[in-house]
Amino acid sequence: MSEPKNISFIIMSVFIIIGPANEAQSTELPAFVQRVQIAGSVLDDHNKSLAEAIADRFVNALRKRNYGFLKENKFESLRKEIHDFAAKYQPARTSPAKRKMLLSAIDRYLPAYFLNRPDFREEQEMAYLKFPDQVKTFKWKLWLALNRTPITPEQFERREAQHNWIREYITTVPIRPGDTRPINMTPDGARKWASAYLEQELADPLSLLYDPMTHSQFEVFKQWMKRSAANGLVKTVTDIPVRALGAWAHNHADVEKAYSHPFDIQLPFEDEVRSIWGGGGGAGTHLTFASNALFRGRDVFLDGRKDSRHIFDIVRGPLQIAPQVQEGDPDELIAHWIQKHGKGDLAYNDSTVTLTALRGGKITELNVVNWFEADALSNGELRKLIAEKSQMSISVDRLPPANGPRIMKGDKPRFFIVVQTGEKRLAVVDLKTREFGQIEFYSRTRPTDSPATTSNTQPPSTAGGGRAGDGSD
């Protein structure tokens, strides 16, 4: 992408305070809708440098996420990390109005963009795995905000035209059956809420709508907004953050490639954007980076049907077997394919409902209930378990379907396995669902013979960067 746009902050004398009409509506609004209410926390930080105030606001807001995987020492290291980053890019002088706007935006950013939705499956674990990416995404947006310079007349005119198009467009989006809004909120109330949400987004210095997009970027954004409209007003409006992120990712007008690697995003650190993860209302919306590939892992579907043969390689990911070898016995075809190509570690056979190790690899079930317990085990402990209880295949018959009624409590039949490849690489796999000839699992490759974290498991530092050697998205 071209150099980041240098746009001055809009000096606002009035902050919009947005909320539902009454207490009952507030309790019924989904978390990602409630985020439109401005927290506006007041901290005694007027005597601090801008970098110190930014770091304090970030950590104070992060504490309210109630992430069990963040211990006190992690908060302090994050405070230093954010402070040092902000100090590197903060302008020499910042007006009180601009400072207030940016710090208030940070108060809103953490609840809006860092995962913590009670309706999200395995929310704490998802937040844990995506945490380094979310911190880096925040730093990228902070860098854009800190590096703005006065707006030009052409940029101002382009931004106003884009903002007016969005304002006018959301007035045309219908409220559809099933649209995510409280039963007792009238259509008129929903439209007022949508308008207020949008105005806050347009005035937020950490929003990607604060700066004007290029013409081609905005064309991509408009096309995706029109697609969102099929789901109704609330979905269209709360999709704005991820639609804007997709539009920024590519400096061209190809809407189909807006969320496809490779991306064209300039970063203030050494890293590479591998994908975009989006949630309604911004909830969890972030870039994913090469530097977090091993820790983040892959959430994939492995196809075990006769008409579509895939195998999984813990380094390369899902691998497609050539169509000409898809007929016949699945196991024999896979054995022939991996012998010829020398890659592939797991295969799923839907007819026998089993997951099988390939190329001399070994697997066994891991007696843990979540990723925190899995990460507390060292590589040595995993190798010992493999040595004592290794198997060639494991039945996945207990896995639930991906659709229909689900067991949403902690007793659903999700389970973990450990994989040791023929090259002695280790991976832990979270087996999730099985349906329509597919098995879904979340695979995370272990760094080569590095010790696992202790029971005080925390995500790795986001400082620095660089590209992961393998396990990338």
Confidence band for 295, pLDDT divided at 50, 70 and 90 = very high
Q: Are the beta carbons of 130 and 122 closer than 8 angstroms?
A: no
Do 28 and 151 have their domain in common?
yes
Task: Specify which residues 313 forms β-bridges with.
Answer: 317
Do 288 and 302 have their domain in common?
no
Asked which of 250, 274, 292 is the last residue of a domain, the reply is 292
Residue 3 forms part of a structural domain: no
- The closest alpha carbon to 144, from 3, 25, 311, belongs to 3
pLDDT at 278: 83
d(Cα 164, Cα 321) in Å, to the nearest integer? 50
d(Cα 188, Cα 206) in Å, to the nearest integer? 29
Do 287 and 307 have their domain in common?
no
Residue 145 forms part of a structural domain: yes
d(Cα 61, Cα 39) in Å, to the nearest integer? 10
Estimate the crossing angle of helix 72-89 against helix 50-63, to 10 degrees: 150
Residue 114 has pLDDT above 50, yes or no: yes
Q: Are the beta carbons of 363 and 428 closer than 8 angstroms?
A: no
pLDDT at 258: 84
**Mean pLDDT, range 193-214, rounded to an integer:** 93
Residue 397 forms part of a structural domain: yes
**How many domains would you assign to the chain?**
2
pLDDT at 260: 85
- The closest alpha carbon to 40, from 66, 18, 23, 62, belongs to 18
Do 94 and 143 have their domain in common?
yes
Around 208, how many Cα atoms within 13 Å sit in the side-chain half-sphere? Answer: 26
Residue 10 forms part of a structural domain: no
Tallying the residues shown for the chain, one arrives at: 473
Residue 359 forms part of a structural domain: yes
Residue 453 forms part of a structural domain: no
Do 286 and 330 have their domain in common?
no
pLDDT at 2: 39
Q: Using alpha carbons only, how large is the chain's radius of gyration in Å? A: 24
Do 287 and 378 have their domain in common?
no
**Mean pLDDT, range 33-39, rounded to an integer:** 44
pLDDT at 4: 40
Residue 4 forms part of a structural domain: no
pLDDT in tens, 137-180: 999 999 999 999 889 999 999 999 999 999 999 999 988 876 76
Asked which of 292, 313, 341 is the last residue of a domain, the reply is 292
Do 398 and 316 have their domain in common?
yes
d(Cα 26, Cα 16) in Å, to the nearest integer? 17
Task: Specify which residues 311 forms β-bridges with.
Answer: 319, 347
Q: Are the beta carbons of 471 and 316 closer than 8 angstroms?
A: no
- The closest alpha carbon to 423, from 389, 449, 444, 395, belongs to 449
pLDDT in tens, 321-347: 765 555 556 677 777 778 888 888 998
Around 301, how many Cα atoms within 13 Å sit in the side-chain half-sphere? Answer: 13
Q: Are the beta carbons of 473 and 261 closer than 8 angstroms?
A: yes
Residue 452 forms part of a structural domain: no
pLDDT at 58: 97
b (16+ CB within 10 A) / e for 17-35: ebebeeeebeeebbbbbbb
Do 306 and 193 have their domain in common?
no
Do 344 and 196 have their domain in common?
no
Do 120 and 247 have their domain in common?
yes
Asked which of 292, 311, 337 is the last residue of a domain, the reply is 292
- Domain encompassing residue 329: 298-445
d(Cα 139, Cα 101) in Å, to the nearest integer? 17
Task: State which H helix or E strand residue 429 sits in.
Answer: strand 426-435
Do 275 and 353 have their domain in common?
no
d(Cα 418, Cα 441) in Å, to the nearest integer? 12
Do 339 and 409 have their domain in common?
yes
More confident residue, 332 or 89: 89
